[in-house]
Amino acid sequence: MKAAVIVFPGSNCDTDCFHALRDVMKVPVEFVWHKERNFPKVDLVVIPGGFSYGDYLRTGAIARFSPVMDAVTKHAAGGRSVVGICNGFQILLEAGLLPGAMLRNKTLQFICKHTWIRTEENLTMFTGKMEPGEVLCVPIAHGEGNYYCDDDTLKSLHDHDQVVFRYCSETGEVGEAFNPNGSKDHIAGIVNAKKNVLGMMPHPERASEDLLGSSDGRKIWESLLNVLG
Amino acid sequence: MPTLSSATPITPELIAAHGITPQEYKHICEILGREPNITELGMFSVMWSEHCSYKNSKPILKLFSKMNSELPHQEHLLVKPGQENAGIVDIGDGLAVCFKIESHNHPSAVEPFQGAATGVGGILRDIFTMGARPILLMNSLRFGDLAQPISQHLFRGVVAGIAHYGNCMGIPTIGGDIYFDASYEGNPLVNAMALGIIKKNEIVRGAAHGIGNPVYYVGATTGRDGLGGAAFASRELTEESHEDRPAVQVGDPFMEKLLMEACLELLHTDALVGMQDMGAAGLTCAGCETASRASTGVEIDLAKVPLRETGMIPYEILLSESQERMLVIVKKGKEKEVERIFEKWDLHAVNIGEVTKGDKYRVLEAGKIAAEIPAKALADDGPIYVREEQKPAYLKDAQKLDLGIVKELKDFTAVLKKILSYPSIASKAWVWEQYDHMVRTDTVFYPGHDAALIRVKGTQKGIAVSTDCNSLYVYLDPFEGGKIAVAEAARNVVCSGAKPVGVTNCLNFGNPMKPEIFWQFHQAVAGMIESCKALEVPVTGGNVSFYNESPQGAIYPTPTIGMVGLLQNIEKRVPSAFQNQGDVIFLAGETFNEIGGSHYLMIEHGLKKGLPPRLDLKREQALQQFILAAADAKKLSSCHDLSEGGLALALAECCLKSTDDLGAEVGDLSEVREALRGLREDALYFGESQSRAVISVKLQYRDDVRKLAQKQGIALYEIGTVSGDALLMEDRVHLPVREMKRLFDTTIPNMMERSL
C-alpha cells in the first residue's frame, strides 16, 4: 500500500497522519501540496484534520476548490480509497464525495476528548479487521462535528450500510449521553455508496500508539493494509 | 488625544500624553541632538514604556542573570534572559528547547476573546522567530470570584480565545493553572507559555547583520489595530479602560499558521540572516532591536509596507501592533528564494529596506526622512529607575493568625467535599476539553496531571512542563511565596520523573510606582532566586507585567513560574494518580502545624491570613532527589505533590484521577501524627506543609523505596494501600470515589451553564 497525505493551507494533522502511516504502520507515504493537479499513483489518499483556510466561510468550503481536489475526485471515482478525518471529513462533505453537512457542536464549544465509537459496519475496506459492533476508543477534536442530513438521506445511509461508526458508551450502548456533539443518529463516520471513501470526525492517527493512551485507531490502518497489501 | 498628523507640534501636553516624563524628554533631545518630531516621540514612547524597556524592573531582573552566572552548571543555557525573543536550553542529542511565558492581561480585561487569542499568537511568534517549531502551549489564568457574572464572562471569553488561536495553529495546549480570587476582579491574568524544539545548530538570531542585506516585511498587512498597545499595557486599568479597546489587537491564527510554516521553511534555505517578530511596538521595535543586536543600522521605506487601511501616517504605521507580521533579514542575492517560499504560502513578502552602515534606525516615507534615531538608544538605552520600596502596612495584620481561635474540625468529610468543589481546586476539564491538547500526537500526560508531558519524536526523551503560583502565599509573604512558587513548579515536574532544566517567569504585579508594590516585587524575585539557586535551575527569561490594578486595588502579587523538565527516557515517566489495587501508599516529607495561607483556612474558616508554610530548601532538594532516584529505578507506580488542600486532597485526587476509580484505605496516620508533638488534626489533613508528596508503589518495591528515602534523609511514612472504591482516612473521611468525582467534575460546568 502506498499513501498520500494532502496538505492544505491550515491543515494541522498532516504530520500526525504522516507519522502514523510511515513510522507506526511502515507504509510508504508522501505529502501532496493542495496546489498539485496530479499526484503520484497511490492506493490511499488521506485528507487530514486542521483548519484549512482558517475555516473561513464554512469548514471545508474553500478547500474543496483547491486544485488537488480534482485529482482526489478522480482517485475516488476510480474506486481507490480515500479517508477524510475531521476537517478532511468536512471537506469531503463540501466536495460532495459524501452526503450530509456539519453543524456547530451542540455545546457551541470546541471539544477535544477521547470518545467511544461502535463499529456499525465491518464489511468495508476500512473496518475489515474489526468485529461487528466492536467498540473503539478514539479521540475527537472539533468545533463543528455535529453531522446532519435529512431523513431520506439517513434512511438511505442505513439501507446501504453506509453508517460505519456511531458514538457510544464504553460498553457499546448508543444514546444521547454518549453523543458529544449532537450528531444526527449519533453518527461519527460514514462511507460513500461505493464504500471506498470514508469520512470520520474521530482521529485514528491520534490513537495509533499505546504511549498516547489508545491504539484502537490502528485497526483502520490495519484493515486498509489487509485489503491494499 | 487629538487627531495626529506628521506636522503636529510637540507640546508638553502631548509629551505627557505619551507617558514620557520631562526628564525623559530631555534625554531624548540629547540623544537626537534636537527635538523629536511626532513620529519619533511615538517611537520613544512605546520603546521606553515599561512593557518594552523594563525601565522599572531591570535592576531587579538583573539578579536573575547574576544567579544564572553563579550556578555550577550553565553550559546547557544556550540563549540567556534578555538576549533574544526567548531563552534556549540544550537537551542533548543536538536538540534544544526554546520557551517563554508572557502576559496579555490588560487586553484580556477589556476584550477577553481577542486579548487572550493574540496573547497566544504573540508567544508563538517569539518561539518560531528563533527558528524553533512550537510543540506545546500552556497557560496560567487568574480571574475574580467565579460566582460573579463578570468573572464568568471573562473566563468564558479567555478560554475560547486561547482555544481559537492554539487549536487553529495545531499546537496542543497541554496544561496550565487556574485560580479564582476576588483580588483579580476587574484585572484578570492571562499568561501564555509556549515551548518549541530546535536543532542546536539552527538557532536564528533577531539581528540585522551584513551591510546591504535586504530587510523583508512578511505576513499580514498593517492596520490601525493595537495602536499603542505596549503603552496601554503600562498603565493601570480604570473605569474608562474599555475605551482603549482599539489598543487590543485582532488575531488571525490561520495567517499565523501560514507565517509559521513559511518561516520554518525559510530556515532550510541558506537565505536567512535574522528574524524578528512584530509584537509589542510593532515595526518600531523590530527595526531598532535587530539593528541594535547587530550593531548596525536599518533603513526602511514606509511607502512599501503593505497597509490594510488608507490614510495611515508614519506614526500609525510604526506603532501599529497588527498581528502576524515578521521582519526578516535576508542574504543579498537570495531574494528570489525567499519570495518563492512566501508566495507558496500566499503571504506578503516585501523588500522594505536594508541593513546600513552606522547605528541609525532610519525610516523613510516617500523619500523623505520620517524618523531617524540611534537604534541602540531606542532599543536598549531607555531610562532605568530604581524604585522606592517599602514593606507594606497590610502585612502585619495579614500575617497574624491566632491558632487558638481556629476551632479544630468535627466533620472532616464535609470539609474535603467543600474543598473538592471549590472552583480553584475543582476539575478544569471544562477548560482543557476546549483546547486541542492532542494534536501533533505527542501528548503523553494530559492536562490534570502534576505536570504535562510530551514525547520528543525520534528520541527517547520527554519534556515535562508545569506552570504554577500560589499568589495568596506571595501576598502574605512575598519572599517565601516566591520561593515556594519555584519549588512547587519544580516539584510538579519532578513528580512526573523529569529533571527541571529551566525556568521562565511572568511577574504580574501592581503599580511599581507604589513603594509597597515594588517591595513585593523585589522580595518575590529574591525568593524565586533563592529556590532556583538551591535547585540549580537557570532562569531563561520571561516577562514583567506591572500596573495590574483595578479601581478596587492591586492584584495579589503573582510571579507565575513556567518550569521545564527533561525526562531522558519517557518509559520512566510517573503518573500522578493511583494505578493498581494493592499498591502501598507512602507520604514522603514532614508535616508541620501549618495552616496559615491555606485553602482550608480560606474555604472553611473564611480567613486569608497567617504566614504561609515555610520552605526548607535542603529538605526540598532531598525530596526531589529521592523522587528522581525512585523514578529512575522504576519503583514508583504514582507520585503526586501535596499543595492546596494538603494530604486529604492529594489522596482524593490520586483516587479520582485514576482510570478505574481506585480507592484508598489510609487506616492509621499516627506515625505522621507522632512525628511532631502537638500537631493539629486539621494541619495533618489539610495543612499545606511544603516538600511533601504522596507516592504509591508495588508491594515488592516497598523496601527499595524505603532505602532510597533513607539515603536522602527523607521522612517516609507508610500510610495505607490502594484498595476499594472509596477514600477512607482513619475514622474521619469516608467518601466514595464516584461521589468525589461528581463534586470535582461538575463544579465548573454547573457554574458556567447557569450563566448562559
Q: What is the model's pLDDT at position B245? A: 56
C-alpha to C-alpha distance for A181 and B633, rounded to whole angstroms: 44
**Global pTM?**
0.95
DSSP three-state, residue B199? strand
A172 at B interface, C-beta within 8 A: no
Model confidence at B259: pLDDT above 50: yes
Query: Is the separation of the CB atoms in B17 and B1 below 8 Å?
Result: yes
Model confidence at A54: pLDDT above 70: yes
C-alpha to C-alpha distance for B20 and B547, rounded to whole angstroms: 16
Angle A71-A72-A75 from CA coordinates, rounded to 5°: 85
| B689 exposure class (CB count in 10 Å sphere: 0-12, 13-18, 19+) | buried
> SS3 string of A31-89?
EEECCCCCCCCCCEEEECCECHHHHCCCCCCCHHHCCHHHHHHHHHHCCCEEEEECHHH
Report the pLDDT averaged over residues B454-480: 97
Model confidence at B166: pLDDT above 70: yes
Does ipTM top 0.90? yes
Torsion sign, CA atoms B200, B206, B212, B214: positive
CA diameter of chain B: 84
Q: Find chain B residues with C-beta within 8 A of A110's C-beta.
A: 163, 167, 434-436
pLDDT, mean over chain B: 94
Query: Among partner residues A19, A141, A143, which is closest to B438 by beta-carbon distance?
Result: A141
Model confidence at B467: pLDDT above 80: yes
Report the pLDDT averaged over residues A58-81: 94
Which one from B18, B27, B51, B449 is the annotated catalytic residue? B51
**How many domains in chain A?**
1
Model confidence at B755: pLDDT above 60: no
A78 grid coordinates: 476510480
For an interface test with B, the pick among A55, A112, A115, A218 (most B C-beta atoms closer than 10 Å) comes out as A112
Q: Do B441 and A206 touch (CB under 8 A)?
A: yes
- Taking the CA of residue A207 and the nearest CA in chain B, the distance in Å comes to 9
DSSP three-state, residue B481? helix
- Helix axis angle for B646-656 and B412-420, nearest 10°, is 60
Which one from B18, B104, B449, B522 is the annotated catalytic residue? B104
pLDDT in tens, B10-56: 999 999 989 899 999 999 999 999 999 999 999 999 999 888 888 99
A55 at B interface, C-beta within 8 A: yes
Residue B102: enclosing H or E segment and its boundaries? strand B95-103
Domains (ranges, CATH) in chain B? 7-60+204-382 (3.90.650.10), 575-756 (3.90.650.10)
Q: Do A12 and B444 touch (CB under 8 A)?
A: no
Which one from A86, A121, A142, A168 is the annotated catalytic residue? A86
- Please name the residue of chain A whose CA is at the shortest distance from the CA of residue B163: A110
Q: What is the model's pLDDT at position B240? A: 66
Report the pLDDT averaged over residues B726-749: 97
A110 at B interface, C-beta within 8 A: yes
Size of interface A-B (CB pairs under 8 A): 84
Query: Is the separation of the CB atoms in B650 and B685 below 8 Å?
Result: no
What are the C-alpha distances in Å from B127 to residues B134, B162, B204, B338, B543?
Answer: 6, 17, 10, 20, 14
Q: What is the model's pLDDT at position B439? A: 98
Model confidence at B232: pLDDT above 80: no
Q: Find chain A residues with C-beta within 8 A of B257's C-beta.
A: 9-10, 12, 51, 54
- Taking the CA of residue B120 and the nearest CA in chain A, the distance in Å comes to 16
- Please name the residue of chain A whose CA is at the shortest distance from the CA of residue B260: A10
Report the pLDDT averaged over residues A161-166: 98
Phi, psi of B86 (to 5 degrees): -155, 155
Angle B77-B80-B85 from CA coordinates, rounded to 5°: 120
pLDDT in tens, B420-442: 999 999 999 999 999 999 999 99
Q: What is the model's pLDDT at position B237? A: 64
pLDDT in tens, B406-425: 999 999 999 999 999 999 99
Report the pLDDT averaged over residues B67-93: 90
Query: Among partner residues B254, B344, B437, which is closest to A54 by beta-carbon distance?
Result: B254
Q: Clarify whether A205 is annotated catalytic.
A: yes
C-beta neighbour count of B174 within 10 angstroms: 30
Range of A7's domain?
Answer: 3-228
Q: Do A111 and B433 touch (CB under 8 A)?
A: yes
Q: What is the model's pLDDT at position B224? A: 85
DSSP three-state, residue B70? helix
Q: Which amino acid is at B148?
A: Q
- Among candidate residues B325, B257, B327, the one with its CA nearest the CA of residue B289: B327
Query: Is the separation of the CB atoms in B96 and B88 below 8 Å?
Result: yes
**Residue tagged 512547587 (cell numbers):** B488
Model confidence at B367: pLDDT above 90: no
A144 at B interface, C-beta within 8 A: no
DSSP three-state, residue B573? coil
Q: Do B438 and A15 touch (CB under 8 A)?
A: no
Strands, sheet with B325-330, edge to edge from the N-terminal-most edge strand: B272-277, B325-330, B214-219, B348-356, B297-301, B360-365, B368-374
Q: Find chain A residues with C-beta within 8 A of B168's C-beta.
A: 10, 12, 51, 54-55
Model confidence at B754: pLDDT above 70: no
Model confidence at B483: pLDDT above 50: yes
B388 grid coordinates: 522606592
Q: Do A54 and B168 touch (CB under 8 A)?
A: yes
Model confidence at B674: pLDDT above 80: yes
Can you give the length of chain B in residues?
Answer: 756
Query: Is the separation of the CB atoms in A173 and A186 below 8 Å?
Result: no
The percent of residues in chain A predicted with pLDDT above 90, rounded, is 97
Q: How confident is the model at residue B1 (pLDDT cuts 50, 70, 90)?
A: very low
pLDDT in tens, B597-631: 999 999 999 999 999 999 999 999 999 999 999 99
Query: Among partner residues A19, A53, A111, which is closest to B457 by beta-carbon distance?
Result: A19
Model confidence at B700: pLDDT above 90: yes
Report the pLDDT averaged over residues B75-101: 92
Q: Do A19 and B167 touch (CB under 8 A)?
A: no
Residue B651: enclosing H or E segment and its boundaries? helix B646-656
Query: Is the separation of the CB atoms in B673 and B684 below 8 Å?
Result: yes
Q: How confident is the model at residue B228 (pLDDT cuts 50, 70, 90)?
A: low
Query: Is the separation of the CB atoms in B81 and B261 below 8 Å?
Result: no
Query: Is the separation of the CB atoms in B162 and B192 below 8 Å?
Result: yes
Model confidence at B499: pLDDT above 50: yes
C-alpha to C-alpha distance for B589 and B694, rounded to whole angstroms: 9
C-alpha to C-alpha distance for B196 and A170, rounded to whole angstroms: 36
Q: How confident is the model at residue B2 (pLDDT cuts 50, 70, 90)?
A: very low
Query: Is the separation of the CB atoms in B719 and B642 below 8 Å?
Result: no
C-alpha to C-alpha distance for B200 and B131, rounded to whole angstroms: 10
Q: Clarify whether B104 is annotated catalytic.
A: yes
pLDDT in tens, B126-149: 999 999 999 999 999 999 999 999
Query: Is the separation of the CB atoms in B501 and B539 below 8 Å?
Result: no
- Among candidate residues B682, B619, B624, the one with its CA nearest the CA of residue B649: B682
CATH of the domain at A166: 3.40.50.880
C-alpha to C-alpha distance for B137 and B378, rounded to whole angstroms: 31
Report the pLDDT averaged over residues B160-169: 97
Q: Find chain A residues with C-beta within 8 A of B437's C-beta.
A: 112
C-beta neighbour count of A35 within 10 angstroms: 13
Q: Find chain A residues with C-beta within 8 A of B428's C-beta.
A: none
